[in-house]
Structure 1
Amino acid sequence: MSAALPSSRTRWWALVVLGLTQLMVVLDGTIVAIALPAAQADLSIDDGQRQWVVTAYAVAFSALLLLGGRIADFWGRKRTFMVGMVGFGAASAWGGLAQSGGELIAARGLQGVFAALLAPAALAMVAVLFPSGRDRNIAFAVFGIIAGTGAAFGFLLGGVLTQYADWRWCLLVNLFFVVAGLIGGKFLLLESKAEGDTRYDILGTVLVALGLGALIYGFARAEHGWGEADTIGFLAAGAVLMAVFVWWQGRTSHPLLPLRVVRDRVRGGAFLLQAFVGVVMIGAMLYLTFHFQIVLGMSPVAAGFGNVAMTVVIMATAPISTKLFTTFGPRVVLTVGPLLAAAGLFFLSGITAEGSYWSEVLPGLVVMGLGFSLIFVPLQNLALAGVDPHDAGVASALANASMHVGGSIAVAVFTALYSSSVTDALTQGTDRMPALAGGYGDVLFAAAWVMVLGAVTSFGLIRGPRAGATPPAEAVAVGH
């Protein structure tokens, strides 16, 4: 059943609420990164546990996003959004008051669970509120820029809170977002949900959660050796479970992830590129932040500001990127964008212990900003282009899941790569700081090649001058 869209003014205010929600979910993937050294010392967290403060959030978020998308579709997107907000706020409060490393990691995981409800509900409501035309392109450009800059904003806000308040405020600050989201959601958002078959795929949920969990844990164990039995075992189990999941989605009458959502060439390319972006924004940028604090000796605030250059460039060039997207279509901008991001990462991979931020880091971040501006403007629009209203939530979930799965695997793989690089350098007699800088550089070099792969993917899969730029008006309807 469809209903009239709300007034134009109400829709744009609703976008503000949904954008703040997206900002909270994205920045929470990185805001604790700068606080990690302080939290580690305060709670006596060992190095092995440290990465799980970041990874626990991403794993829970990624594993449950598809289910969260289906809950939003079937139960109601506004209702799911509101419940997710309350739960996310409670988990944030628990994490901010944690008295041990185990509590903090558990709270981060619980944040991920409720973020898996919030994110797909918010993105699906953007698709519902802006069904077609120029307004849709603008709305998704705004949403995409928020998603893209949220990670860097998380580093900045984390630095300010850690240095001038306490690392715990990196979690407690979410309560302000939650209050704003609940008030705005109540008065500005309309309920919408899918009609027809609304049965849940419980087996599919179990398979994808266990499969993703096993894969990410297996990659995390690779730090201790790729040939170790538990590393191979978890990776093999994850691969098998994911293969069974895909097989099951093609057989069940009520799939968690309808394969029609990913079979579309343009959407499939967008989902893959989202994963590659997650590798850089969640995985590689974490190590650049470590370089700022540990090697260059920056304060938390200075380290946070160190990432702002890329964010400023993305926001400043977004109007130009939007115009280029409209003029040349997604294939061109989503090929050139990753290549520019790769060029910036290749430059950054040359960081040294003796170098300065201004000569070895800033130019690379500026070039990366130009590239990511071209990526973020159209990416989420393409991921939801032409999606049936019955599948809006799950398509939104997959767009988010792609980025966070890419980031989760990247954190684990980059940890193994970094550890191996540093160990080899120290064994050869290299001093500690140059060894650390070399390890961070190797991570950034690997991330650069991932973005080259992203450019190849876009060029090969995103066909046509304006393929999928805007879905037909009837593609998404508002239902009650």
Structure 2
Amino acid sequence: MSSTIPAAAESRRPSLSVTTKAPDDSTASTSEKGDSIIAEVKSTRPPRSFAKDVILICTVTLAMILNTANNTAVGIALPTIGRELNIVEYKLQWIINAYSLSSGCLLLFLGRIADLYSRKYTFIGGCAVLGILGLGCGFAQDEITLDVLRGLQGIGAAACIPAALGILARSFPPSPLRSIAFATFAAGAPVGGAIGFAIGGILTQFTEKTWRSTFWFFTGLSVICCIGGFISIDDDFSEGLVDRRVDWLGTFLVTAGLTFIIFVLSDGSVAPNGWKTGYIIALLIVGVVLLALFVWWEHYLERLHERGEASLDKWWTPLPLMSVTVWTRAQGKLAVVLLITFFEWCGFNIWIFWAQLYYQDYLGLSPILTMVRMLPMCVTGVLCNLVVALVVGRLPVVYLIVIGTLFTGVANLLFAVIDPAAPYWAFGFPAAIVSVFGADFVFATGTLFVAKVCLPHEQSVGGALFQTLTQVGTAFGVAISTIVFNTTIAKSSLQYGVVVNKSGTNAPRPAQLVAYKDAMWSGCGFAFAGAMLALIFLRSVGIVGHRKDQDARSDTTIRDEEATTVPSSH
């Protein structure tokens, strides 16, 4: 596999960056350079005990559980929240969207802050925000207060998740334990989904404070995360670069651009005139332009540093928030992995979104019965990450990604041809079982690959980039499938002489079924597109995990035949 040397910042010169090129025929010399640099980094790290490693893995996994459960638990409690706070149904979704919007749009910025200053304290701060704002959500008395607090709470997730990925990459050198750590962290997502469904349903139904108890419960878990972080994460505050300036212009461009785009994708289908609404079109255009300007600005800053024209005396020349060349790591294969991640999250969340609506709105099942039908995917998710931990050091990554994305496509396919008269075991159960393979296989192997090819100073940014693609993929997939659903239900209803209203509640049942099936076909297409990309571009990647009998040098050295920019340390 050709990829990037994970070289540490070793230069003590005052320059902001050092560019080294590996000669075309000097793989061995490049390998030796990588080995010596990595050895220097390892020598500066204090020895860690096994108990400390276990606490660290449990702590970051609990943070991932909190991130997922904060949405699933609130989702199951939405009807109760609506009744108690007198929130109309179509506005309830913003209790979920506010959290997702802030957590998705601030990932790159807070990931960069973690890399520049301290992943440990960024992680702990993020967990503290999750807890404090969650406590406030439990005391909210009206819709606006709850929406604002949920939006602020999402900032905590945007801080702790990319920092956690950077912490894992730094704390565990290439080894079987690293594979286990990343697989366990990835397992936090399905476990969080299951805990969120279960705890949210139980506390909402059986406690006096109903949905408020859920927020307070997760506040307690946030406190545990903070304590675990203080105990198990090495202090890295002094490991920042000589240039710790923040790229504020880049931060504004990417945050504003992502905010507008994710807002449009979330709100386009329910806007007054749908996707034809004036502000939806305007914000979409502005968002795309801002992201284009962000890419140009980051490329400009990167070129300044490469030419040596950047200086600490020039306040407007900080290191870029996101190196544009990060997309070229491993000869562009990192970009392919990120694109596959986008497609997978499109397909996976299309299935989750429409499967729940199919059960509740079409079959008329209660939220609890719907939850029971979705629970098998959580069990499978844990098992999938166990499989990854066992085989990722022996099986080429292309097999795991292709199998996973194909299975996600099959889950959508089962619902695209579903027979409502058939028992749950014929379509619903196998779909729930296989749906999660793609998300868990791609998340675990993808984050391992990111950690392997990203340079030490961009580990959290790499993790943030990965997480951002999952967030944008979620919003994009649901938006596209909603367009398909609305278009199909309108056309199908006309065949029965019915003009559907905006909500589609007056559509004939046969037309509704066709619309659900067509929405699932779109999810099938996204997932299969990810599988095709993996088959075409990732066949030469090889193994990204590590096993005990691997040669240490091959584990710790990642060769790159291209230019590698190595930032200097302080």
**TM-score, with normalisation over the residues of structure 1?**
0.90
Matched, 1:457 2:530: no
Asked if 2 retains the 8 angstrom alpha-carbon contact of 1:269 and 1:461, the reply is yes
In 2, the alpha carbon distance for the partners of 1:197 and 1:474 equals: 27
Asked if 1 retains the 8 angstrom alpha-carbon contact of 2:348 and 2:408, the reply is no
Residue of structure 1 in register with 2:370 after alignment? 303
In 2, the alpha carbon distance for the partners of 1:73 and 1:184 equals: 20
Matched, 1:260 2:260: no
Residue of structure 2 in register with 1:177 after alignment? 221
Greater gyration radius: 2
Residue of structure 1 in register with 2:452 after alignment? 385
- Give the CA deviation at 1:132: 0.6
In 2, the alpha carbon distance for the partners of 1:298 and 1:370 equals: 26
In 1, the alpha carbon distance for the partners of 2:465 and 2:377 equals: 26
1:171 maps to a residue whose letter is F
* SS in structure 1 at match of 2:162: helix
1:228 to 277, 281, 284: 277
Identify the range of structure 1 (155-164 vs 175-184) with the bigger mean alpha-carbon deviation. Answer: 155-164
* SS in structure 2 at match of 1:358: coil
Query: What residue ranges of structure 2 are gaps of 5+ in the alignment?
Result: 1-40, 306-318, 499-505, 547-553, 559-565
Residue of structure 2 in register with 1:409 after alignment? 476
Residue of structure 2 in register with 1:56 after alignment? 98
* SS in structure 2 at match of 1:307: helix
2:61 to 13, 19, 40: 19
Residue of structure 2 in register with 1:445 after alignment? 521
- Give the CA deviation at 1:287: 3.1
Residue of structure 2 in register with 1:37 after alignment? 79
Matched, 1:202 2:248: yes
Residue of structure 2 in register with 1:106 after alignment? 148
- Give the CA deviation at 1:243: 0.7
1:315 to 377, 382, 386: 382
Equivalence map 1:53-452=2 (5 Å): 53-165=95-207, 166-192=210-236, 193-223=239-269, 224-252=273-301, 253=305, 254-264=319-329, 265-351=332-418, 354-425=421-492, 428=496, 429=498, 436-452=512-528
2:147 maps to a residue whose letter is I
1:270 maps to a residue whose letter is V
Q: Provide, for residues 361-419 of structure 1, a one-character-per-residue CA deviation record: whole Å limited to 9, x for no partner.
A: 11211222444454344121112213211111111211221111212333444444444
2:217 maps to a residue whose letter is V
Asked if 1 retains the 8 angstrom alpha-carbon contact of 2:351 and 2:411, the reply is no
- Equivalent pairs counted in the alignment come to 478
Asked if 2 retains the 8 angstrom alpha-carbon contact of 1:61 and 1:112, the reply is yes
- Give the CA deviation at 1:435: 5.2
Structure 1 or 2: more helix by fraction: 1
Asked if 2 retains the 8 angstrom alpha-carbon contact of 1:381 and 1:469, the reply is yes
Classify 1:431/1:401 alpha carbon distance in 2 versus 1 (closer, same or farther; 3 Å): closer
Asked if 2 retains the 8 angstrom alpha-carbon contact of 1:284 and 1:414, the reply is no
Classify 1:417/1:33 alpha carbon distance in 2 versus 1 (closer, same or farther; 3 Å): farther
Q: Provide, for residues 169-221 of structure 1, a one-character-per-residue CA deviation record: whole Å limited to 9, x for no partner.
A: 34332212112112211212212243332211100111011111111222234
RMSD: 2.8
Asked if 2 retains the 8 angstrom alpha-carbon contact of 1:283 and 1:408, the reply is no
In 1, the alpha carbon distance for the partners of 2:350 and 2:134 equals: 22
Asked if 1 retains the 8 angstrom alpha-carbon contact of 2:348 and 2:439, the reply is no
- Give the CA deviation at 1:469: 4.2
Classify 1:221/1:404 alpha carbon distance in 2 versus 1 (closer, same or farther; 3 Å): closer
In 2, the alpha carbon distance for the partners of 1:310 and 1:244 equals: 40
- Give the CA deviation at 1:276: 2.8
Identify the range of structure 1 (239-248 vs 445-454) with the bigger mean alpha-carbon deviation. Answer: 445-454
Residue of structure 1 in register with 2:37 after alignment? none
Classify 1:213/1:16 alpha carbon distance in 2 versus 1 (closer, same or farther; 3 Å): same
1:449 maps to a residue whose letter is G
In 2, the alpha carbon distance for the partners of 1:40 and 1:439 equals: 27
In 2, the alpha carbon distance for the partners of 1:154 and 1:411 equals: 21
* SS in structure 1 at match of 2:394: helix
Asked if 2 retains the 8 angstrom alpha-carbon contact of 1:163 and 1:300, the reply is no
Classify 1:68/1:317 alpha carbon distance in 2 versus 1 (closer, same or farther; 3 Å): closer
Residue of structure 1 in register with 2:45 after alignment? 3
Identify the range of structure 1 (20-29 vs 374-383) with the bigger mean alpha-carbon deviation. Answer: 374-383
- Give the CA deviation at 1:286: 3.0
* SS in structure 1 at match of 2:453: coil
Q: Provide, for residues 305-327 of structure 1, a one-character-per-residue CA deviation record: whole Å limited to 9, x for no partner.
A: 22221222232344444444333
Query: What residue ranges of structure 1 are gaps of 5+ in the alignment?
Result: none
2:221 maps to a residue whose letter is F
- Give the CA deviation at 1:59: 1.3
Identify the range of structure 1 (127-136 vs 225-234) with the bigger mean alpha-carbon deviation. Answer: 225-234
Classify 1:319/1:218 alpha carbon distance in 2 versus 1 (closer, same or farther; 3 Å): closer
In 1, the alpha carbon distance for the partners of 2:276 and 2:111 equals: 36
Classify 1:137/1:308 alpha carbon distance in 2 versus 1 (closer, same or farther; 3 Å): same
In 1, the alpha carbon distance for the partners of 2:149 and 2:510 equals: 35
Residue of structure 2 in register with 1:473 after alignment? 556
In 1, the alpha carbon distance for the partners of 2:260 and 2:478 equals: 15
* SS in structure 2 at match of 1:327: coil
1:191 maps to a residue whose letter is D
- Give the CA deviation at 1:11: 0.9
* SS in structure 2 at match of 1:385: helix
